[in-house]
Each structure stands twice: as structure tokens, then as C-alpha cells.
Amino acid sequence: MLRKPSRSLRKPPVRNGTAFGLLTQRVLAGGIATILASQTCVAPALADPVTLTTRDGTYSIVGDLVEITDDAFTIRSSVGSMTVARDTVTCDGAGCPAGTAPAPQTTIAGDRALGVDLIPTLLSRFAASTRAKATVLKTIDNGLLVEVSGGDLPQTAAIKIVPSTSSDGIAALLDGTAELALSDRRALTREVRAAQNLGLGDLRSEAQEQIVALDGLLFITHPRNPVRSLTTADAAAIYAGKITNWSQVGGSDLPITLYASTPDLGSADVLDALVMRPAELAVSADATVLGSDRVVAETVATDPAAIGYTRIGNEGPARPLAIRGSCNIQTQPTPFTVKTEEYPLTRQLYIYRGKTPLSPIGDAFSRFLASDAAQTDVASAGFIDQSIAAATIDQQGMRIASAMMVETDPAQQQELRGMMDMLLAAERLSATFRYETGTDLLNARALADLDRLAALLSTDAYRGKEVLFLGFTDTVGDAALNRDLSLKRAEQIIATLLAEYPEVADNVRLTAVGLGEISSLACNDTDPGRAINRRVETWVRDFAQ
């Protein structure tokens, strides 16, 4: 929005009243409400042509710059002489003083949930981290134009946030109308190829792809509802109106009441992306639409027949439902299971940049997004941050129970008991390493977690500890070969860690263990389930001499 001008429109002199009245009408019609018509004629002083533009870029006026004071510019244009408060406009032209030129602009476009709910919050934190000030100049179709100035920044800059879709954001990056693209999914193969053909580099490379936050969706019910878990297929059928009674999913004979959030909320986008679209279904028109996750949770908690959905962490007094696979492995919806990427309704949220150098403000903001300070605000904005969390073996109880129920081979049951003995006094860290599909290359999330883990293990809190890297595989192939593969991958994590951060070995002891197919976190009958099971976990325990 336009900022309040520091001066009001002065009354024109009595003489030439008609001309000044026309001038005022023309100026206001042009939209520069902050322009001040001078009370007296101003003698030419500089007479250099300049363009004065309101700071939100909406209106401009061209004329000769004839006087500069600490507070104002005076220009003579085709409609007469006028004085403009300096803090309401930018000045572009040879005669403009330093620091008054239009601020260079960085455009960030893409995923609406990120553009509306997260990036403005992080932009404010970024400004504060540089002792600068972030000022909203204008709202643009639910987006913003923000000016960042002062502090440690070398110059004033503007950041334009354009919320739309992930596809639109990447398209804007490709056509040059955006420097940074926000996406709720990884760049598609065709988008990666298009970027390469345009000379914009590899969007999936570590230098150009960055995970800025994590997100997870959970389903909630009344606290006394006997149903404790659903499959994603059940959830999709419920919200499509194909399953209408709780008895159809193991509950009481009670018609289901559907609650949904408004389409402009991020949780509605996640439901559509992770549950409804994969099932080729749409949310029923019978769902009662509420205005926020908080209202959904509070309403569901008072309605015994209700089901709703929220982002993880917003369930309030309602009861979360676990997600159950076809093999009956259940995963609880928690920030920890999102961070470990084992909760099925999890997604990573990306920011992409092209190969060409960013503007100074764009580059600084992009680097800030990976900092610990930014991750703190990721959590406060309703997303899940990427900081490394810890969980005791007790808190992994559902995971162990599911593995024991699913495992029928006596030898592997014995191996599972051996694993539990090894981990009895250990705690698990959320840093869990996975690979690019079909390769031995760590994925983008794993590479970022490796940096965070190195920093954590170098602290005094972990001095003298033993860090166990436990490798696991899916059940495809020979069990003995899978065990060897899981050990190889655990050893690879240690080698990669020490290659980048050799000093870690001075603080902790690093041990690789290959456990192969045991302790599945998901069912092995689907590609997503097998991908979850191919992993290297991180556990920490006191070192036994």
C-alpha cells in the first residue's frame, strides 16, 4: 500500500487559480497523492531531467530537477513546478543524489503457501538479521512489494513476492521474470531440461535447489472416536463422500461429518496434492468449510462424528490419526516423523535459483534461508523446520511394535531383537539419509542434513559419544546382499562426513552398522514405501570402553 505522505498537498496560490486547479487535477489523476504544488515559483537551480516515482512503483512524473533540499525535490514538468517529499519517491536521472535511485528489485514467485505464509515472515527476519528495515510498499494480488533498507545492506532493495503455483514459479524463473522460484514439489524432469536448454544450469543441483521447509498433513477426529488410524485411500474416499459412516473404517455406526479448510489455506493444498489427486478424487461439496486450521481443530474436538485435517502441529484439542499402510505398519504424524521422512503425508518445500548470479539482495536472502535463524521462523509460521531433533527409544515404540508385528521370519525377528538391544540406551537423531532414485548419490535433503549433523556433533554436548549409522534396505532382492548394501551405505555416510568435516572424529566415535531388510518403516509393496525403507539412520549413545 502507499505510505502516508510526510506532507499534504499545499493550496495553490490565488493567482492563476484556474491553471493550478487544472494542474492539481492532472497530478491527482496521475495518482501521485504526495506531490506538493509549490507556493512560489522556484528558480532553476539544477535543471537536470529526472523521473520521480512513488516507492511502490505505481506512479511517475518526469521533469527538470531544479532544487534539492534535505526533505524534498522540486521539479518543473509540463504541468508546472512542484515539490515532492523525498521519502515518498525514488529519483532516477543524472541529477539525482546518491541513494535516491529506484531500488533494484528481486522477484520471488511460486507456491502460494510459501509465498503468503512463510516468505514474508522470513524476509522480516532477514532484514532484522542485517539491522535493516523491511517496509511493505504495496500489495499485489495477495502478494507484496517489500523494500529492505538500511542496516548492513550496501543499498536499498525491493523484493516482489508473487504467490501462484509451483509450475508458475518455475516458469517465471525460466523466462527471467523471477530470480527465485517457490515450489511445493521437486522440479519436474521437463522443467530441468528446459532450464538446461536455456543455459540456466541444473535445477536439481546442490547449488540451485534448496529445501526451505517441510510440511505435513494430519487427519483429526473427536478425542473419543475409537478409530486410531486410516489408510490414505480411506481418507481420500471419506473426503470424496464415498465412505460416509465410521463403521466402514472400523469405528462406530455413525455418519461421518466432513470439515475442510478454505482453499486459500496451505493445508487444503496439501490435502489435494498428497491425498485427493493421487486417488483421482475431489473433496465432496458436502464438506463444511471453515476459515482456519485452528477453527477446524476446535470444531472437530466438539463433534463426535467429525473428521478434519490440519498441518502437523495445529491439531489443538482434537485427536490425530496415524497413517496405516497395507501391511498394517502405522506411522504417527509428528514433527519428528516428518523430519525423518517416514510419515507418508510429508512434503519438502523448495526454492530454486538459476545458474546466473542473483542480485546482491536475492543472493543474501537465499543464503539466509538455509540458516538456523531462518529455521526458527519456519516453525513459528506453521511449517516444520529442518533442525535436527532427538527421540528416545521409548518414543520410537510404535515403530518397533510395527516392525515386530510385520516381521514373520524367525531369523529376522532375532536380528530385530539384537538391534533393539543395541539401541536400548541410545537416542535417535532425525538426520536420516536417503539417495537419489537409482543412484548412490545423496539427495538434497541428505546433503543439507549432513552439514547440520556435523555442526551438532562438533559441540561439547556430544563429546565422547558414539554415533551409530544404521543402514537399512527394502525387501527387494537377496537378504544377504541387502545387508551388505546397507553396511556399504552406512560406511559411505561416515566417509562423506569425514571428507567434509574431519574434525568431527576428534569429538565423537563413528560406527557403521548394516541391518538390511529388518525394521521396515513402511510397506514394501509400493515405490514410496520402498523409498522410505532405503535409508541410513543416526543414533547416539554413550561410548562403552
Residue with more model confidence, 14 or 68:
68
Distance CA 4, CA 33 (A): 10
Name the residue ranges covered by the structural domains of the chain: 17-92, 105-208+355-380, 215-339, 388-542
Distance CA 165, CA 191 (A): 14
pLDDT in tens, 352-402: 998 877 788 888 888 888 788 888 889 888 899 999 999 988 777 667 776
Residue with cell 527409544: 393
In the 8-state DSSP scheme, what is residue 343? S
User: Which is nearest to 339 in space by CA: 443, 246, 214?
Assistant: 214
Distance CA 349, CA 255 (A): 36
Q: What is the CATH number of domain 388-542?
A: 3.30.1330.60
Whether residue 18 is predicted with pLDDT greater than 60 in this model: the reply is no
pLDDT in tens, 98-134: 766 666 788 999 988 899 889 998 998 888 888 888 8
Cell for 236? 481420500
- Asked if domains 105-208+355-380 and 215-339 share a fold, the reply is yes
- β-partners of residue 260 are 289
Distance CA 317, CA 221 (A): 10
pLDDT in tens, 40-72: 333 344 567 888 887 666 777 888 888 888 788
Distance CA 108, CA 368 (A): 15
For strands 180-183 and 105-111, give the pairing.
Answer: parallel
Q: Which fold has domain 17-92?
A: SH3 type barrels. (2.30.30)
Q: Is 332 helix (H, G, I), strand (E, B) or coil?
A: coil
Cell for 167? 509450475
pLDDT in tens, 441-453: 888 889 889 999 9
Q: What is the mean pLDDT of the chain?
A: 84
CA distances from 376 to 207, 310, 337 (A): 23, 20, 18
Q: Are 473 and 486 in contact (CB under 8 A)?
A: yes
CATH 3.40.50.1360 fits 215-339, yes or no: no
Q: Where are the beta strands (DSSP E) in 312-409?
A: 319-320, 322-324, 330-331, 346-353, 390-392
Distance CA 516, CA 488 (A): 10
* Residue 519 φ/ψ region, left for φ over 0, alpha for ψ in the -120 to 50 degree band, beta for the rest: left
CATH 3.40.190.10 fits 105-208+355-380, yes or no: yes
Distance CA 374, CA 348 (A): 16
pTM: 0.77
User: Which is nearest to 318 in space by CA: 235, 227, 221?
Assistant: 221
For strands 257-261 and 330-331, give the pairing.
Answer: unpaired
pLDDT in tens, 133-176: 888 877 777 788 888 878 887 777 888 899 988 999 999 999 99
Distance CA 297, CA 156 (A): 42
